[in-house]
Amino acid sequence: MRTRREFLIDSMKGACASCIASGLFLAGSCSVLMAREKDEKKYTKEAMYYEKKEEMKILCKLCPRECSVADLERGYCGVRENRGGIYYTLVHSRPCTYHVDPIEKKPFFHFLPGSTAFSIATAGCNVECRFCQNWDISQFRPEQLESIYMPPETVHAMAKKSGARSIAYTYSEPVVFYEYVLDTARLGPETGIRSVVVSNGYIQEKAIIELCQHLGAIKIDLKAFTEKFYREVCNGKLEPVLKTLLAIKKTGIWFEIVVLIIPTLNDSEIELRKMSRWIRENLGPDVPVHFTRFHPTYKIKNLPRTPLPVLERARDTARSEGLNFVYMGNVPGHESENTICPSCKNTIIKRYGYLIMNMDIANGKCGKCARTIPGVWS
């Protein structure tokens, strides 16, 4: 059976032949289409985590959405396509953006502080957050964006040239370009450059456990602590994200949590107290939690920036529930950006925004009282 693209190309070839015969000339359009077809093939690879079903349907088992996809159709993410009963990713080696960022921007505060991360993203996402800061890539299909060909070996070469100590899969949702992340991360032991993932955690357990074997760290966006928020604001579910956090904890990989505090939607003290208590009881008191400031964007432009007192209340609530490392984000210069030793209250790392102003830590221990500070420091 011919694919949809093969059908279009054959149709265009026929149209070109007819036009040339009749004195018209569309060969340029035909060559452009054929060039695009050639480009598409190098971005295409059979997907992982799916089951074949009757009548050439497939069942995607990568994320909790479990899309049932008919032949020549795509899953919710828009970057995985069923072609004749075989499921393919269309974004392998196909980043639509790349930058070199401070690791603190992700944010990771306990992972190689002061280093940089070579950061990449492809099109697509498996949820739709109405406050998404990168909606202009996460909510688009790959054909709608300008992309470049960057296979895993090239990613490592560019990261090394930039001086980055890690590669970050970020901006959109790395779960939807899972195979690209995995193939790139697997090269880490050869190049000495570790991989970190910035994710919404909307992924099935087997997939996240396999991925964690090849990562240096992972950051999970915990959007809120109610199913109502996930359903109405993100078109997702909370429970699978909590399961992902539990699975990550079992792997032993370093991880941090970010919560974007949106006024009136997820900022109640009751909700934040429940969230903090769940984190302490299930993940431990030493998991860094970042409460970050919301800015109006995408589909939520009717709410103001998060007031500073609301962020401070969130931080105080988490601390009162026993969390040791609670930070505030998008408030440069605030003292809550600093890492404080839970035992002697020494300022271990002093920050201003993404800048490291001073560090008082040696071999993973507080420079004053020698308490072990959890994280990846070298």
pLDDT tens digit sequence for 315-328: 999 999 999 999 99
Q: What is the pLDDT of residues 142-153, one digit of tens each?
A: 999 999 999 999
Q: What is the pLDDT of residue 153?
A: 98
Q: Is the pLDDT of residue 34 over 60?
A: no
Q: Is the pLDDT of residue 137 over 60?
A: yes
pLDDT tens for 203-223 read 999 999 999 999 999 999 999
Q: What is the mean pLDDT of the chain?
A: 92
Least confident span in 10-19, 28-37, 237-246: 10-19
Using alpha carbons, select from 334, 362, 363 the residue that is nearest to residue 350. 334
Mean pLDDT of 329-354: 97
Residue 92 pLDDT exceeds 70: yes
Rounded to two decimals, the pTM is: 0.90
- For the chain, the residue count is 378
Which stretches does DSSP call E strand in the chain? 45-46, 50-52, 58-60, 68-69, 80-83, 86-89, 97-102, 116-121, 166-169, 194-199, 217-221, 254-261, 289-293, 326-329, 339-340, 347-352, 355-359, 361-362, 365-366
What does the pLDDT read at residue 8? 43
In the structure, what pLDDT confidence band is assigned to residue 35 with cuts at 50, 70 and 90? low
Task: Quickly tell me which residue has 């087997």 as its tokens.
Answer: 206
SS3 171: coil
pLDDT of residue 24: 41
pLDDT at 26: 41
Please give the pLDDT value at position 36: 60
Q: How confident is the model at residue 72 (pLDDT cuts 50, 70, 90)?
A: very high
The confidence score (pLDDT) of residue 38 equals: 65
